[in-house]
Amino acid sequence: MKAPNTIWQHGTGAIIEHPGQALLLRHTGNALRVVGVAGSTNWLHYPIQLQQRLATSAAHLLRILMRYRCDSPTALITNVMLYDAEVCVFKAAGLNLCAYEWDDIALAVDPELRVTHGLNLSIGIRFDGADNDTHALEISGVGVEIDDEKKPM
């Protein structure tokens, strides 16, 4: 059995759902830094490009990956959702992830899912408390680990 493939998207590739609820969006190197308005929630959306791979292989999703850090316990990652086209194929809610140093998260997809169209990874974020200056988090990258199976010609 061959090793699975990992497809990464830099943190800077995010599309923020409500830019007006962010005091700062800073793209630095490969990371996106978000400073949120106190008491707000938001979503970061990451399209994962698989179209060329799906033309020649059947991709089975194994894990969802993310590298992040937060400046304070009031900046949290609350949800991770993965869509294959318009269908939500994975959902992890109520996470409340917060790490002061860079942390790598791997969420297993069980059972493994076959990808049929294209993926979009959506990350829910929340900024608690009353002081806007402490509401910062950074995402360095997100990705998916897949196992390719050659399609018959």
Tell me the per-residue pLDDT of 91-145, one tens digit each, with 9 for 90 and over: 999 999 999 999 999 999 877 787 778 889 999 999 997 777 678 999 999 999 9
Tell me the per-residue pLDDT of 14-48, one tens digit each, with 9 for 90 and over: 999 999 999 999 999 999 999 999 999 999 999 98
In whole angstroms, give the CA distance from residue 9 to residue 34.
17
Q: What is the pLDDT of residue 3?
A: 75
Looking up tokens 């698989």 gives: 50
Contacts 24+ apart (CB under 8 A), 87-96: 89/61, 89/113, 90/61, 90/64, 93/124
pLDDT band at 153 (very low <50, low <70, confident <90, very high): very low
pLDDT band at 146 (very low <50, low <70, confident <90, very high): confident
pLDDT band at 1 (very low <50, low <70, confident <90, very high): low
Task: Average the pLDDT over each of 31-45, 53-67, 71-85, 130-144 and give the range with the smallest value.
Answer: 53-67
